[in-house]
Amino acid sequence: MRKLMLMLLTSVVTLSLISGCAGGGSASGTEGAASDAANAGNSEKVTIKIMDFKTEITDKIKAMAADYMAQNPNVNIEAQVTSNYDTLLKTRFAAGDGPDIFMTRAYTDIQDWSGRLVDLSGEPWMDKVVPSSEPGMTVDGKKLGFPLAVEGYGFIYNKDLFAQAGIDTLPTTLTELKQANEKLKTAGISSYSEGYKSFWVLGQHLFNLPFAFEKDPAATIENMSKGEAKIADLANLNGFFDVLDMTVQYGKGADTIGLSYDNQVSDFASGKTAMIQQGVWAIDSITKINPDMNIGMFAIPLNENADETKLPVGVSTYYSINKDSQNIDESKKFLTWLHENGQKYIVDSYKLIPAFTDLKTTAELGPLAADLNKYLQDDNTLIWSFQLWPSGIAEDFTVPLQAYVGGHFDKEQTIQELQKVWDQKVKK
């Protein structure tokens, strides 16, 4: 999933567990139906090319692909799982090698790619999606995605280290967060390990907060796009910088900008730090290292009003089908199979909270999912405002924010640079 000016770690895993051959040429006006029929009439394998950016579950995707191919001997799956997702996806489409199925984000990706996507409105699983997943995948009345999960993020914390430091109440205000950090420091415990090398940790998820804290985030973003409001006008922008400062001061300092998602998870799961800013998707990565770790998750405060401290929750990602694919019917069949077996793969294997009403959230999803459910039940959630930002802007936001963390910009310079990024994106 990418980066401007700074290189992201790229992990590309190609799964071609059963060899086969795919047909060439362009799709017909029947969106690949003729090609599917031809494939069904001969012994050649159909190759479904999938692109995914959830590198934290690469091995789980590999296992799922192997299972599908074992059950469908006529199908070969080539899955590319990469952290350099956006760049590689555009490169593949430009080279005429667009995947059959690829991961899309709510709103921006769905809208940007809508001209290339198959309408999935009539698929048998569509009436089972959770209602909150529909707006982010709908364009001109067409439903263009297969929702993967309900997700949320905040500070994941080590309960044992909190107890060791004498923290018996989770912080819900900036002051309480600072007090918790001071208690950890006194106990000789490092508070944070943050993966600010990964743009989505800093420029997307953390910087989402001051937007999401707005009373009407959508209206604020619309006004900013019209030039009627600026980033400096965000009511909780100072609180955002306070939190960012804490993660640096009580963590690894400027070295933070050299740490990736894998680095921060490794430090946290090894007990080297008490907190990381991450979400429910991190549970598998954490438990691989430390299966018995005692953890939880709480919302990140940006001010002194505890009632405004809520957890950002959303349906962020979908699988969409390339309308120029030669194997549209086979791709639809795969998505139907994934839904039918969603309890096994999406829930039990991927450890995701399902975005389908007929799939069940289980205790096996672990403590992060349990904490997320509490915020959901209490209606104590924020939206993922970054889904309403101009496409690709989170990568650009990351550059000045990293410069701030590294001590190259002060706060005012950083805000000015963030505004320049916004203005440039809006003009495009």
User: What CA–CA distance (Å, rounded) separates 117 from 102?
Assistant: 10
At residue 108, the pLDDT reads: 82
pLDDT for position 357: 87
Q: What is the pLDDT of residue 34?
A: 38
Whether 319 contacts 102, CB under 8 Å? yes
Q: Secondary structure of 181-250 in the HEC alphabet?
A: HHHHHHCCCEEECCCCCCHHHHHHHHHHHHHHCCCCHHHHHHHHHCCCCCHHHCCCHHHHHHHHHHHHHC
Closest CA to 148 of 347, 388, 368: 347
Q: Is there a contact between 306 and 320 (Cβ–Cβ < 8 Å)?
A: no
Q: Which tokens hold the place of 413?
A: 């310079």
DSSP for residue 345 = I
DSSP reduced 3-state for 353: strand
Find tokens 């009407």 and name the residue: 216
CATH 1.10.1740.10 fits 151-314+376-427, yes or no: no
For residue 117, give the DSSP letter: B
Which helix (H) or strand (E) segment holds residue 153: the answer is strand 150-158
The per-residue pLDDT for 167 is 98
Is residue 78 helix, strand or coil?
Answer: strand
Strand-pair category, 142-143 with 138-139: antiparallel
State the pLDDT at residue 312: 93
User: How far apart (Å, rounded) are the C-alpha atoms in residues 8 and 31?
Assistant: 35
Closest CA to 273 of 251, 256, 288, 254: 251
Amino acid occupying residue 145: G
Q: In this predicted structure, what is the pLDDT of residue 130?
A: 85
Count CB-CB contacts under 10 A for residue 303.
17
Residue 43 has a pLDDT of: 58
CA distances from 328 to 34, 93, 95, 190, 335 (A): 10, 16, 20, 51, 11
In total, the chain counts a number of residues equal to 428
Report domain extents, the chain: 13-149+316-358, 151-314+376-427
Along the 428 residues of the chain, how does pLDDT read in single tens digits?
Answer: 333 333 333 333 333 332 233 333 333 333 343 344 444 444 589 999 999 999 989 999 999 999 999 999 999 999 999 989 999 999 999 999 999 999 999 888 899 999 999 999 999 999 999 887 888 899 999 999 999 988 899 999 999 999 999 999 999 999 999 999 999 999 999 999 999 999 999 999 999 999 999 999 999 999 999 999 999 999 999 999 999 999 999 999 999 999 999 999 999 999 999 999 999 989 889 999 999 999 999 999 999 999 999 999 888 899 999 999 999 999 999 999 999 999 999 999 988 888 898 998 877 788 999 999 888 878 888 989 998 898 889 999 999 999 999 999 999 999 999 999 999 999 86
pLDDT value at position 22? 30
Q: How far is 353 from 148, CA to CA, in rounded Å?
A: 8
CATH of domain 13-149+316-358: 3.40.190.10
Equal CATH topology for 13-149+316-358 and 151-314+376-427? yes
What angle (nearest 5°) sits at the alpha carbon of residue 39, between those of residues 35 and 45?
A: 130
